[in-house]
Structure 1
Amino acid sequence: MTRAELRGDELIAERDLSAAPDRVWAAFTSPASIAAFWGGSHATVPPNSVTVDLRPGGEFALDTHAPSGARRRLRFVYVSIAAPHELVFDEPATGLRTTVTVHPVGDGTHLTVHQRQLPAELQTSQAGFRTGDHPRILTTLTDDVEWVIHGHRSTRGKVEFDGEIENPAFTGSPELHVERVYEDGAAVVTMGEGRGVRVDGGPVHFAFNDLFTFPTG
């Protein structure tokens, strides 16, 4: 189970892992594991691009290759190291500070990743909706996306979903705040609150609780 909480410009994510603390620590400090951790569908990280100087004041850096062909070099500076329990590092380009805490729990590990001074564009997974940025939203979806509002209607495919991004009953973009994120296997639950302005009725304050399911394989 993964739990994540946004507190302004801070993100705290916790997860219980079946791996031993030493193995989890290695995932954050060895070049091959760093490449795997930072890579994903958004970008690949060539293992040979990762450099690690594991000491306070030392750096680790990596290259990201996006599907669009864009390439970027990321650089981080270690602030403090208490192996194998706590790792603190900064990203000079953004001011983001990350604290990784590893605690043994039974035969596994409790992992906490605490990020401070989170850039505004990363402070919510709903950032695209907040700005009405259609391309940004649609790039996060698969072609067979399905949005089911039980007892109301279903939206299938990117074309239909695009038509729902901005509701004509409202004016402007909504203000959304994700307060909790829970992950369990292929299911993710997000909870939060939002505000908007109806064309015919003034301001609206609402809460949301969304369940996302992802196909496996």
Structure 2
Amino acid sequence: MTTAQVVIIEDEKAIADTLIHTLEIDGFAVQWFATAGEGLEYIKNNMPALVILDVGLPDVNGFELCKQIREFSAVPIIFLTARNDEIDRVVGLEIGADDYVTKPFSPREVLARVKLRIRHSEAASKVSISSEQASGLYAENFDYHFQNQALALTALEFKLLDKLISHPRQVFSREQLLLSAQNHQDAIYARNVDSHIKAIRNKLRAVSAPECIHTKRGFGYYYEST
């Protein structure tokens, strides 16, 4: 069984050491980087199971680094920061983070969140064979592909599309889709589902994939291959 690898990008050594010890005791392989540049380079050349990312890095703001990672990967990202303002949590989740932990924190709580996000990510990467064969879409490395072309989905886009594909012809409301993506700010984000679906449709069209996400007016969205 392959050991899941967690990348920590955090400039405070004492905090990093605490997380490394907690994660390694539980069987995770850990790579630690003190700067955004080093961490980004490593992630580009490897496939970690999850990234723990500090917002206040010395070279690049963590929010900006998250956006750079999302350009090529849907790896789960947990923000770790001293900031506790609601706007920071909203911004972090909007740009593609999967979770948000504020300092001071319990290492065991971070461990529990890491396990949860990795389990959900692994489950989301599995797609039913029948749906895959019918549409020509397939999931690989937390992104969907059509005729060997990656859609370059964000983490949230991937989770939304995967939920729809995994349950063909089942109509999901906006709230159900957000809950399936484990976005715990669903009351705030429900009104934004339409824009995420629009972005997914545009990315499908960009690779000439068939129209497969349909709107059930007044109810929500469903997947059906054409």
Fold shared, TM-score > 0.5 on shorter chain:
no
Larger RCO: 1 or 2 (CA < 8 Å, sep 6+): 1
User: Which has a greater percent of helix?
Assistant: 2
Give the TM-score of the pair, scaled to structure 2.
Answer: 0.25
User: Which has a greater percent of strand?
Assistant: 1
Give the TM-score of the pair, scaled to structure 1.
Answer: 0.25
